[in-house]
Amino acid sequence: MKTLAAQVITPEDLLKHWQGHRTLTRRVIELFPEKDFFEFSIGGMRSFAKLTDELLAIAVPGLKGIVNKEEKAFAEESEKLIFKAQYLEKWDEATAEINQYWEKLSIEDFNETFNLFGQYEFPVIQNILYFVDNEVHHRAQGYVYLRALGIEPPFFWER
């Protein structure tokens, strides 16, 4: 018999929280000038395009793996995108896919242990919180880039 841990946030509210972050990250992508999205870097950090590649490689593949209970290795280099508009299109597709896979999660699934990408064996809730934390971390790098380019980033609370 499965037991449930005390719930602090509903799955619906957690999805809303995550998608709010995704909406904000999308706005950051939009603000980058085309060339700088792919080339601008500070201190040896990756370009925001490369950081976005990572975010796209984690969100849907990670959630899909959780839902289907498939431990596939992390693979960042799947499709070569060459325009910012392609990234925005992929971002929107991923947003819709996240919503679809989310519907397949049961409340019990959040407490189940899952070996994300065959590397990170934690309860599903921890893996999902990692998705959000990782995105916030990389979006913050994007904020630094935008400010260095003289572009005002969106307010972080406007999700």
Q: What are phi and psi of 2, to 5 degrees?
A: -85, 145
Buried b (16+ CB within 10 A) or exposed e, 128-156: beebbebbeebbebbbebbeeeeeebbee
Regions of the chain short of the pLDDT cut 70: 1-6, 77-78
